Structure 1
């Protein structure tokens, strides 16, 4: 019997059938952008990168960006409840605020967040055309936040409400998601005689892209996204001997409003291509709690950026960039900081399959001063074998709340820093029918911010994260694709050697996608997450969470070219697990919906 039902509708949006992306494959002619900020053949990139296409998302019928990222090698996701609940990303064992998240090139890290991290829990998957997950320190191109890596999400450019008229191009999507009857509190935490309250979540997301070709050399563009959500979150139980001032059932209705946009101009004159952009992002979260009052947290970022590149000699492309950004928090305090930055990158094609990318970036912040970071990533293809490696430095600026309050704060905080390396080999078999690869990685985060006995944030901690990422891909026929991934992560405090919280040592996934007929697409996936350390939701004492396994099934049936039915069964074997401690993940569930073109 299904425990809960998901209902989703997508108006004005029908996902395109893009090519299946299985990650790196010898002979792959696809390109990626995030690794070098330029369109680069994936086999020329030395950094570790996972590419997820719209076709992958359609096959699995994933509803949110959180769903899309769960199986990515080297990435652990922790969601405090069901759909829309706070989601933390741990990339290669680094902290949850050590991953930069871009939406159509817009940095969506939240200046009002206590740690400055991006919360991806409200991002729906229906308008995603492509996700690139770039692993390893990337501050040499992207500045603060990119210690663990970069996640770049590209908005759909071929939705059903799309067209052109002369030089004008447009695309628009609207999505709605409603999730009901989602209990969160584990039965073991309920007070005597108390029953669990079901939470709910509602999300409406819209997006648009506009473009105008002024001439063959000049293109103007505008991209915008808006998201509003409402959720009821009921903390059914707390230890009332510890929290004597709290009611047994704390009822909150949390509303969020997020919007961002970027206007751009792209100009090509001869061998030189330039782009100028102005981006703005804003986030507001309100919490209406009938027992404890109303609260509001709000912040925004505005950024002006310029980038230009040219092939300065055969096989050598030089990229230059500069940007200035202002981060501001408005509620519950009012402060802001400004960062100016410049970067340079040289992409080299030496021939015979040997490529390299090297970058250097300088950031100057109005509060914590300057920071110089670097990155280098060679790649060498020899027949069906590819050798790759990367090394670089990263940093994470202290958040506005860590610097200025309203609670424990320290205006003298310095950025967290890190140096990381990786090296790997990938091998193709049977003329591209199969491929396999393994990559070793190591990171040394330093000056990590933690709280002392007076609840003041200070730069005190060091960590070490290292491990192995591996994959096998097999495509015995054009209609069938099989993939297996395994990641081993050893993430510890460098001083005490204690395991870092919420990072599983073992993670594995399997996926099978089958285009059964021209109209019917089927998918089955399995995810295993091993035991991990945590802190008790009520006891605040160290806990060891057991591992868990989930199996999901999905199907899409194109009834007509303009009308499709889809469905998904999640957690097929009804596994019960908590992640993090005290927050029960959804049990077996099903959802179904329709997509229609107008």
Structure 2
């Protein structure tokens, strides 16, 4: 178990039964802190909310949180981009059980959230804004942290879920846990399948999706206050998709398909020092992503692309209480990333793969303290030494002020960040070894107010990113980067800005559980040579979400979810805009006894099938029924 997990468990353990508990925010500070003491903007989706909303795909949950936009190329299994506060998808860092998921073989080094199912996930935290000071260069936009269920020592326990629905969809999930003495363990697995819809909007051929996954955790108490923590997550996904067949070469039905296998492993050791005054964690994490695409219509070989991305990471984190009011957290990290890609074709069925690697070594420090009883201050600094880009520093300051005995909470933060170009952007056939890192500065200012059982919040935010990497199309004119017939290359073309506000309301109103949010974002592209300033594509200026649920006599629970996204640009080249949409979801769950319940839902009940990427389809209305049991 990590330091943050140990501390979080300890904090909850000392709380008397029946006492209201402020939710712990782990991801924001990399050390546990109650929400009212975090100066950073973070949303927590607890396990009960995940269960209640019956959502299978993590990105569908993320799309209901303030400031988060999600686009998907078609139905389930299509490339899924998660953008926070108008930032790029490759500027969002994904973390599961403390292990970073971003794939170095993807064009921008982003994490494709297509194959990330809820599965055994017990908690999700979304941290918004530039967070490089404690999380490194991939966190310019924000951080999405997921945690799987912890092992439970003691008697054997098991639970399972089975559901089936429209479009030939089925889902099975099971988990078992137990332990005794110094050991505790948990194993879980799931399987999801759907016939899907045509990825090409208006197509007639369904593009199906199949995914299986498994996870496991083991903790061993080697001695008092010394614990070994082992974790593993694995998935294997297969999806069909559409392309641009001859002779028209327009987006239409094809028989193309892909396969993605993802695996991660982690081994950590927590131990004290200095008579228990210093808490320490040593960890080794490995991630491996392997992707293949196939086209049965291609002569000689049906394999059209293969990629392997691997990251190894060695990290140390320490934590010490300097005084009763000040805590110091610090760490050192070494990361090595490797990309290996090839594009077989009919005229070159066995090309020489392109293999490149890089590394970054980092050190960071953070001080969290209370200068006054109603004020919490967080100061953080980081130094990254990248193999290709030398040293880069980043810092962040955040404060939380609680006047009126905590009924009001004021938050503010200011942070810097940088992101190194990906291996693909540097070294692929479109690469540019002269690229510079992207840099960003961001701020936010927010206020929360408790009104009875409801908490209201309003946050203003802004970000400015320099030297953002984008694709430059070769159009002639003697550009030295366009020799040899290149179609284009990656360049530091852009300056982007984002300015907006987030409003939320959550709590109980007249017996209903309500969770509502509204986000207004103006994300702009500035300074691109030869192009006017304009909105960034696929970033609706207006997004809103409303979830309402209520438990009736007999423990029958009803729920309703609305999600709205306004009109947005489809691309930067003058294509027609993506239309606004409003989707409605309905759900119900009925316990049959203490350990068994039945449930059902209707997704997109109004059959909007929203188009989030130009030309791609969406499932539309789908009804599902399921059964849950625990033993």
Corresponding residue of 1:224: 232
User: Are 1:391 and 2:423 matched, yes or no?
Assistant: no
Q: 3-state SS of the aligned residue for 2:70?
A: strand
Q: Hey, what's the Cα distance between the residues in 2 that align with 1:555 and 1:508?
A: 22
User: Are 1:508 and 2:544 matched, yes or no?
Assistant: yes
Q: How does 1:246-285 map to 2 (within 5 A)?
A: 249-269=253-273, 270-285=276-291
Corresponding residue of 1:469: 502
- Alignment counterpart, residue 403 of structure 1, candidates 426, 437, 440: 426
Q: Hey, what's the Cα distance between the residues in 1 that align with 2:491 and 2:583?
A: 39
Q: Hey, what's the Cα distance between the residues in 2 that align with 1:183 and 1:558?
A: 36
Task: Quote how far apart the aligned CAs of 1:296 are.
Answer: 1.1
- Alignment counterpart, residue 338 of structure 2, candidates 320, 323, 328: 328
Corresponding residue of 1:307: 317
Q: Hey, what's the Cα distance between the residues in 1 that align with 2:261 and 2:199?
A: 23
- After superposition, the C-alpha distances for 1:51-104 in whole angstroms (9 at most, x for unaligned) are 001111111100011111111100100011111111011110111111111011
Task: Quote how far apart the aligned CAs of 1:519 are.
Answer: 4.4
Q: How does 1:163-174 map to 2 (within 5 A)?
A: 163-174=178-189
Q: Hey, what's the Cα distance between the residues in 1 that align with 2:558 and 2:186?
A: 28
Q: Hey, what's the Cα distance between the residues in 1 that align with 2:111 and 2:409?
A: 33
Task: Quote how far apart the aligned CAs of 1:29 are.
Answer: 1.5
Mark the CA change 1:438 to 1:239 in structure 2 (over 3 Å): closer, same or farther.
farther
Task: Quote how far apart the aligned CAs of 1:181 are.
Answer: 3.9
Task: Quote how far apart the aligned CAs of 1:242 are.
Answer: 5.1
- Alignment counterpart, residue 85 of structure 1, candidates 71, 78, 87: 78
Corresponding residue of 1:179: 194
Q: 3-state SS of the aligned residue for 1:414?
A: coil
Contact preservation (8 Å) 1:317, 1:348: yes
Q: Hey, what's the Cα distance between the residues in 1 that align with 2:266 and 2:596?
A: 32
Corresponding residue of 2:580: 547
User: Are 1:357 and 2:367 matched, yes or no?
Assistant: no
- After superposition, the C-alpha distances for 1:25-68 in whole angstroms (9 at most, x for unaligned) are xx862211111100101100011110001111111100011111
Mark the CA change 1:32 to 1:157 in structure 2 (over 3 Å): closer, same or farther.
same
Corresponding residue of 1:418: 440
Q: How does 1:4-403 map to 2 (within 5 A)?
A: 29-157=22-150, 160=158, 161-187=176-202, 196-235=204-243, 240-241=247-248, 249-269=253-273, 270-292=276-298, 293-294=302-303, 295-332=305-342, 333-383=354-404, 384-403=407-426
Corresponding residue of 2:598: 565
Corresponding residue of 1:191: none
Corresponding residue of 1:448: 468
Q: Hey, what's the Cα distance between the residues in 1 that align with 2:26 and 2:396?
A: 16
Corresponding residue of 2:626: 593
Q: 3-state SS of the aligned residue for 1:68?
A: helix
Number of positions where the alignment pairs a residue of Structure 1 with one of Structure 2: 555
Contact preservation (8 Å) 1:59, 1:555: no
- Structure 1: gaps of 5 or more residues: 1-18, 20-26, 188-194
Q: Hey, what's the Cα distance between the residues in 2 that align with 1:258 and 1:517?
A: 44
- Structure 2: gaps of 5 or more residues: 1-11, 13-19, 152-156, 159-175, 343-353, 475-481, 483-487
Q: Hey, what's the Cα distance between the residues in 1 that align with 2:59 and 2:447?
A: 29
Contact preservation (8 Å) 2:264, 2:287: yes
Q: Hey, what's the Cα distance between the residues in 2 that align with 1:307 and 1:74?
A: 30
Instruction: Single out whichever of 107-116 and 151-160 deviates more from structure 2.
Output: 151-160
What is the root-mean-square deviation in Å for CA atoms of aligned residues?
1.9
Task: Quote how far apart the aligned CAs of 1:240 are.
Answer: 4.5
Q: 3-state SS of the aligned residue for 1:546?
A: coil
Corresponding residue of 1:192: none
- After superposition, the C-alpha distances for 1:554-579 in whole angstroms (9 at most, x for unaligned) are 22333334433232210011114311
Q: Hey, what's the Cα distance between the residues in 1 that align with 2:500 and 2:190?
A: 38
Q: Hey, what's the Cα distance between the residues in 1 that align with 2:257 and 2:199?
A: 15
- Alignment counterpart, residue 524 of structure 1, candidates 560, 570, 589: 560
Q: Hey, what's the Cα distance between the residues in 2 that align with 1:463 and 1:58?
A: 37
Q: 3-state SS of the aligned residue for 1:534?
A: coil
User: Are 1:490 and 2:505 matched, yes or no?
Assistant: no
Mark the CA change 1:284 to 1:373 in structure 2 (over 3 Å): closer, same or farther.
same
Q: Hey, what's the Cα distance between the residues in 2 that align with 1:211 and 1:113?
A: 33
Task: Quote how far apart the aligned CAs of 1:541 are.
Answer: 4.2
